[in-house]
Amino acid sequence: MTRIIFLGAPGAGKGTQAQTLAEHWKIPHISTGDILRSAIKEQTALGVKAKSFVDSGQLVPSELVQDMVEERLQKADTSSGWILDGFPRTVDQATFLDNLLKKMNLGGALVINLDVPDDVVVGRLLERGRKDDTEEVIRRRLEIYRSETTPLIDYYGERKQLVVINGNQSAEEVTSNLKDLTVSC
């Protein structure tokens, strides 16, 4: 069973790589950002609550995202594993996920940190131009990433679950490095 978590700054290539590898390994790509954006588009109760946070580059309250992830990880298509992209983003979310996996009688996941310098990610996101890819919102997302998400590098490092990959290469080169990893966990 393959369980992968992608860490990395906004624009580090998490979504890009997770999608490619999920197709390669035939497991679902679970992106909390994509689920939130689709809930916002469909104006579901979750989407209405999440909209202002996503638009301004802040983290959506953890209880909303955690419920969403718990529900998604119970679906039948996860029986061979999954790739989580964008979750966890805080130590609280990581603790929640550890407890959830224990409750489901599953072991830990392999955590991949895609390492890319700030100036490179800002350039990539400005080029992408999603609604939350304006310079001001990108700067806020990066600040929140530094304060809330980088502690997860130590969290998973201490648990010997972490692998760091250089994300500052072409998408094809990053994919090739990732395919070389042993992924059974």
- By the rule CB under 6 A, 7 interacts with ligand B4P: no
For ligand B4P, give the closer residue by CB, 65 or 110. Answer: 65
Nearest to 18 by CA among 133, 7, 9, 69: 7
- By the rule CB under 6 A, 40 interacts with ligand B4P: no
For ligand B4P, give the closer residue by CB, 10 or 81. Answer: 10
| Residue selected from 25, 47, 51, 53 as contacting ligand B4P according to rule CB under 6 A | 53
Give the phi and the psi of residue 44 in degrees, each rounded to 5.
-75, 170
DSSP β-ladder status, 162-166 and 110-115: parallel
User: What is the chain's Cα-based Rg?
Assistant: 16
- By the rule CB under 6 A, 149 interacts with ligand B4P: no
- By the rule CB under 6 A, 96 interacts with ligand B4P: no
Stretch that binds ligand B4P, among 41-49, 57-65, 99-107, 151-159 (CB under 6 A): 57-65
Nearest to 9 by CA among 168, 154, 142: 142
Q: What number of chain residues touch ligand B4P (CB under 6 A)?
A: 30
CB 93 within 8 A of CB 66: yes
| Residue selected from 57, 73, 142, 165 as contacting ligand B4P according to rule CB under 6 A | 57
| Residue selected from 5, 7, 12, 27 as contacting ligand B4P according to rule CB under 6 A | 12
Helix residue ranges, H only, the chain: 14-25, 32-41, 45-56, 62-73, 91-103, 118-128, 135-144, 151-158, 171-179
Binding to ligand B4P by CB under 6 A, coded x per residue (else -) over 156-185, reads --------------xx--x-----------
For ligand B4P, give the closer residue by CB, 42 or 105. Answer: 42
Nearest to 147 by CA among 108, 91, 73: 91
Footprint of ligand B4P on 106-135 (CB under 6 A): 124-125, 128
